[in-house]
Every structure is written in structure tokens, then in C-alpha cells.
Amino acid sequence: MMRTVTVVGASLAGLHAARGLRDQGYDGRLVIVGEERHRPYDRPPLSKEFLTATGEPDGGLGKLALTDPEDEAELDAEWLLGVRADRLDPASGAVGLADGRTLRTDGVVIATGAAPRTLRATALPGVHTLRTLDDARRLRAELRAAAARVVVIGAGFIGAEVASSCAALGLDVTVVEAAPLPLVPQLGERMAQACASLHAAHGVSLLCGTGVATLRGTDRVTGVELADGRVLPADVVVVGVGVRPVTGWLEGSGLALDDGVLCDEGCATALPGVVAVGDVARLARPGTGGTVRAEHWTSAAEQGAVAARNLLAGATVEPFGALPYFWSDQYGARIQFAGRREPGDTVRIAEGDSDKDAAGGFLAVYERDAIPTAVLAVNRPKPFTRLRRELARGPRLAVR
């Protein structure tokens, strides 16, 4: 019998886990701890329309809010915001907070997400990472007040979206990517090249195959020195070189940590009464011997109900088996991907021409032994949705 459940992380994943607990009949004490001072909000717009919107954003969450007063009344949770959890002691059922308080709890949902990786001199004025609403507000203000030349370090989805937003603001934008081509692990070389072509099509320079040696400047950033010796002048630098799961506070807890919190296929850890969801959770993939940690909105939203059910049951009675899905909005194009692509999968273009005009849109199907494994679309939302549903029903359905 769980009298108290504590959700550590007032995130999308944490919110959905809390909702899942209530939806499945849990009527005990529910505590939600969040390091940020904000209630849960939607992060995807931060790199896109939030940066490009006209006018000044108000001090609240506005359209980003994931809850309203009615939702919060139904949730009936205690919100402890603006405070970080710094200790988990499962043996005594305690979550320690950085302000010295200790929460006694019977169940724990770990939803602390991930934090941006940084470079040396990241603290130099004019250098930004983008993860939180406060990050986005600072970056938005500088793009309008101080920027003519922007260098984005990292051409992953966040970097590409920020570059797209800066280009829409009329700024001079250069994207630096250490890999020979961005997004190859996710999309494969051919499709990664097609998506990368969107940068040049919209006047953004993409420099691949070179890293960053240092950031230049004293009172604020003035340039980016590359490993090959080139120097890129910059008024604003945005660092988007990936994230790391927030697990430092769990060291010494007895949990298995390996680039995330290790869980079974149902988000349950090896410790009774402890589950993990969202960017911080690394789930087992039955039948493969591997694990996977998904840094996408859909996974964060969908894992909550599964984790809540297994937490209340005291065992894994339901696996998390949703088909991986993510999307990205860049330069007016919507990129959507669903499925599990593996190295060696072949690609068939079902619609459009990815080689000649990626911005015009295309639909690509990944296949292994003639069986569809994943689908990628640029500006093809209707056929993508149909194929995504077919993939979710089973791997042996013919996708045409």
C-alpha cells in the first residue's frame, strides 16, 4: 500500500506519470518536485516559434503550459518547485532536497530528464545552451538586441531548429558539426544528406567535419575558433552538442546507472518502488540484449502511464512497446520519423525526390529483408501517418 508517491522532475514525463497514477486509481499523497520554478511546460516550441514570435513574451508560461487550474485540481498534487533533489535513499524511503528537507515516500518516479552538454567558456556572455524556458528567454532577448551573426555548434535537431529560427529572423547563421554529416546515426547517410540540404537551401552555412578549438572573447563572445584554424565571427553562439541524463543525485542510491537509469522493459528499476521515465530512463529491449534511452517528446509522454501501472502493481505487468517516433520543424519543413532503423537497412523513396529537392518534400521507407522497419517524411504528413500506423501494427505488414 503506497501512501505517498514522489515524482522527481516536474517535466512532461513526470506530469504524465502523475496523471497515470491518478488515472489508475491511486488516491494517496502525490508530491511533484521540480528544479525549475515553473509548472510543467512544452519544450519543443522553445527552439522554434518561441524564438521567432513577435512581441514580448509574458512572464508566465502562456501557450507552453501543460496544465491549467482544472487539471491541477484533478491531479491533487503537492508541488515543490524551484528546488533540486540531491539524494535518494530507497532503504529508508527518503528523497533528500537541496534545501535540506527530506521527503518520506513509498514510491518514486524518476523524471529528472537531461541537461545540455557544454563546451569550455560556455559561461562567456553571448554563449547559450537551450533546454529550459529561462534559457529560451535569454537567447530570444540576445537575438533581438545583440545579434547579427550567429554560430550554432551542433547540427542535431535542436541545433538545426535554432539555426532555422535565427535564419527566419534575418540573421547570418553558420552551423558547425564535428561529424562528416549530421544525423547519420538516426537517419542513415543518404537521408541525413537530404535533410542537411535544407540548411543551404535557406542561406545557412553548414560546416561539417571539424570541431571547435575554443571560443574567443573576453567580456563577451566574439568568435568561434575551429579545430582546423578557421575563425568564425559571432555575436551569439548557441551550443547544441547533445545532452546528458541527470543522474548525479542518484549516485550511492543502489540504482544501476549507465548513461541513464537502467530499467526493465516496463520502466521499473531493480529497486522496489522506483521507476524512471523520459530522457533519464534507459529501458531494456527484450530479445536484443540491448537498452535504449529515447530523448523524444512522444516517449516521455507515453512512458508515464506504463511506469505508473507497474509502480502500483509492484512488478512489471505491462511493457513499454510504443513505436519510436520523433519530429522536427526546420525552415518551414516538417521532418517526421517513426520506427527502428538499423545499420544496413535499405531506403526506398515512395514519394517525391530527396536528391533533387528535399524542401519540396518526400517519403522514404526503410526496409530490412524487404520488411519495412521505419519511415521518414519531409512535408508528407498524411502518408506518413498511415505508414506509421501500419508499422505500429506489426513488422510484417507491407508498406507501399
The 10s digit of each residue's pLDDT in 194-232 is 999 999 999 999 999 999 999 999 999 999 999 999 999
pLDDT value of position 389: 94
CA 323, 329, 330 angle in degrees (round to 5)?
135
Identical fold, 4-115+244-313 and 332-393: no
Quote the percentage of the chain above a pLDDT of 70: 97
Q: Any idea what DSSP says for residue 359?
A: G
Instruction: Specify whether the CB–CB gap between 52 and 165 falls below 8 A.
Output: yes
The three cell numbers of residue 50 are 518561441
Q: Which CATH superfamily is domain 118-241 in?
A: FAD/NAD(P)-binding domain (3.50.50.60)
The three cell numbers of residue 272 are 522496489
Boundaries of every domain in the chain: 4-115+244-313, 118-241, 332-393
pLDDT value of position 177: 97
Instruction: Specify whether the CB–CB gap between 393 and 347 falls below 8 A.
Output: no
Instruction: Specify whether the CB–CB gap between 42 and 34 falls below 8 A.
Output: no
pLDDT value of position 289: 84
Q: Rounded to whole angstroms, how far apart are CA atoms 18 and 136?
A: 26
Please determine, for residue 396, whether its predicted confidence score (pLDDT) is greater than 60.
no
pLDDT value of position 286: 86
pLDDT value of position 359: 80
CATH topology of domain 332-393: Enolase-like; domain 1 (3.30.390)
pLDDT value of position 57: 61
Mean pLDDT rounded to a whole number for the chain: 94
Among 47, 62, 7, smallest CA distance to 31 is for 7
Please determine, for residue 249, whether its predicted confidence score (pLDDT) is greater than 70.
yes
pLDDT value of position 358: 82
pLDDT value of position 56: 61
The three cell numbers of residue 115 are 541537461
- Give the model confidence (pLDDT) of 141-196 as tens digits: 999 987 799 999 999 999 999 999 999 999 999 999 999 999 999 999 999 999 99
Decide which of 58 and 338 is more confident.
338
Instruction: Specify whether the CB–CB gap between 45 and 144 falls below 8 A.
Output: no
pLDDT value of position 97: 98
pLDDT value of position 398: 41
Q: Which CATH superfamily is domain 4-115+244-313 in?
A: FAD/NAD(P)-binding domain (3.50.50.60)
